[in-house]
Structure 1
Amino acid sequence: MSGVFATARIRASADGRGGTSLPVLESDGPLALRRTRAVGDEARVLLVGAMSGPLGGDRFAVEADVGGGARLRVGSAAATIALPGQTKDEARYDVRLTVADGGELHWLPEQLISAGGSDLSVSTRVDLGADARLVLREEQVLGRVGEEPGRLTSRLVVKVAGRAVLDQELACGPGAPGGWDGPAVLAGHRAVGQLVVVRPEFAEQPATARTLGEQACVMPLAGPAALVTALAPDGLRLRRVLDEALADLGIR
């Protein structure tokens, strides 16, 4: 098996002065982490791709650990484009997020684009303390303009205090189970996204299930969490829908 193996790591801790420190900010190969200006008590980090990919056979991973009382916001400098490589091997991108009681994480990467001929499996696993807070955004665009998508499999698991509140998987593109592009799944759309919002107050007052426009909805989860799912013809309109959903939930 050939390909690039890389793991980037972030650890955020309360600094004892009302702010957040970053004792671990470890880049690796094509995964470059850059500290940006903090806002209030929130530390901010940008993930910068230092090379193309992931390509066939690559194994990328990002790990973030947020301690109690710490607040961290992570974004990315540009979209991630899954591309075909010199081998036919599947590429993998694993994200592992941990937030302790009293910690808060906003995980807001740019879009993932599945280019024609690529084969990528994405896995995101989040473990939260009972009083942790989370805003997580995922956006996937199937193919560049005028291009058929590659194969993309995405799994998202979120646990609060050890109990799963969300465990779902979506497979799209060539070789995916039949029906992924049909009316029960994407209905011909080429951009799909979701927001997972975890707030302790949702345990007492769950989010209200509702639609947002024609192609998005808010659903309370079995725990202190809510899920927004959206479809759109393209990535630009998908972002607009998800931004409106964040505002609707009162999140900045």
Structure 2
Amino acid sequence: MTRQAAEPTAVAVERDGAGRHIARELRPGAFLAPRPLRPAPDRLRLALVGTRAGLLAGDDLRLHIRVGPGARLELTEPSGLVAYDHRGGTSSWRARVEIEEVGELHWDARPFVISEGARVERSMTVVLAAGARMLWRDTLVLGRSGERGGAVRATTHATYDGRELLVEDLDLRDADLRELPGVLGPHRVIGSVTALGADPGGPPHPYRTALAGPGAQIRLLDTVAPAIEADLAAVWEEWRAVTTG
């Protein structure tokens, strides 16, 4: 199926000379619309609200986020995203994040569900300047209730001050391979909290991975979403307190 041309969702936040946070750009795209939330004294708070039911074959969801020098942005998602049966087609989800010097982004993402028959390419590109920070919570769910789940390849490429910080290619397109012992086994929920540009500190964690620079990641696997979401929420709150500038 031919991929549909879709306008990207664009968010640009800056801080003026008086220290106020200003949204220079809040442009809704074909799938997500940024909506202001209750103001906070030290940051801009936005919700990414879905404008379509989910991803279908041929869909291309694009998201561009820029945080200016010294600015702080908090993104939340009121609901998750579902990729439905693509009936032999493919879809894509592509995000690019740019955070300038001493800027900060906290992105609390909701679960991304890959339904049976879906085939999704997902990519996250993060460019951090010196002193910039990002905290990202992310959950992939392979299939709705009773489903084995569709195919997804999720790539992440993050740089800090011009150097690679996190490069990951999570290829979960082959259900037989991903269900092998030592890969995912019986698990179909993959959740993580990732700190980029700042060491979150805290007590040792058995599933914590240090990055190739300032930052760390905790990734958890489970067969159902509620348990893993509760564990990730605890990590998120702990790390948010540490990574806030």
- What TM-score does the superposition give when structure 1 sets the normalisation length? 0.88
Deviation at 1:249, TM superposition (A): 3.5
1:246 aligns with one of 226, 230, 236: 236
Q: Does 1:181 align with 2:179?
A: yes
Q: Which moved more, 1:57-66 or 1:29-38?
A: 29-38
User: How far apart, in 2, do the equivalents of 1:135 and 1:239 lie?
Assistant: 16
Q: Does 1:230 align with 2:220?
A: yes
Contact 1:172 / 1:181 at 8 angstroms: preserved in 2? no
Equivalent in the alignment of 2:57:
56
**CA 1:2–1:104 in structure 2 vs 1: closer, same or farther (change >3 Å)?**
closer
Contact 2:10 / 2:28 at 8 angstroms: preserved in 1? yes
Equivalent in the alignment of 1:211:
205
Deviation at 1:91, TM superposition (A): 0.2
Equivalent in the alignment of 2:111:
111
Residue identity in the other structure for 1:23: R
**CA 1:220–1:12 in structure 2 vs 1: closer, same or farther (change >3 Å)?**
same
User: How far apart, in 2, do the equivalents of 1:28 and 1:198 lie?
Assistant: 26
User: How far apart, in 1, do the equivalents of 2:189 and 2:48 lie?
Assistant: 22
**CA 1:34–1:208 in structure 2 vs 1: closer, same or farther (change >3 Å)?**
closer
Q: After superposition, what is the alpha-carbon deviation per residue over 1:28-56, rounded to whole angstroms, capped at 9, x for unaligned?
A: 22322211112221101111111122111
**CA 1:25–1:113 in structure 2 vs 1: closer, same or farther (change >3 Å)?**
same
User: How far apart, in 2, do the equivalents of 1:248 and 1:136 lie?
Assistant: 13
CA RMSD between the two structures? 2.0
**CA 1:163–1:55 in structure 2 vs 1: closer, same or farther (change >3 Å)?**
same
Equivalent in the alignment of 1:140:
140
Equivalent in the alignment of 1:82:
83
Deviation at 1:106, TM superposition (A): 0.7
Deviation at 1:15, TM superposition (A): 2.6
Contact 2:187 / 2:223 at 8 angstroms: preserved in 1? yes
Equivalent in the alignment of 1:39:
40
Percent of counterpart pairs with the same letter? 27
Which runs of at least 4 in structure 1 moved beyond 6 Å after TM superposition? none
Deviation at 1:239, TM superposition (A): 1.2
- What TM-score does the superposition give when structure 2 sets the normalisation length? 0.91
User: How far apart, in 2, do the equivalents of 1:77 and 1:152 lie?
Assistant: 23
Aligned length: 241
For the residue of structure 1 that corresponds to 2:153, the secondary structure is strand
Contact 1:156 / 1:167 at 8 angstroms: preserved in 2? yes
Contact 1:3 / 1:56 at 8 angstroms: preserved in 2? no
Residue identity in the other structure for 1:157: H
Contact 1:45 / 1:73 at 8 angstroms: preserved in 2? yes
For the residue of structure 2 that corresponds to 1:236, the secondary structure is helix
Structure 1: tracts of 5 or more residues without a match: none
Equivalent in the alignment of 1:10:
11
Equivalent in the alignment of 1:99:
99
**CA 1:199–1:160 in structure 2 vs 1: closer, same or farther (change >3 Å)?**
closer
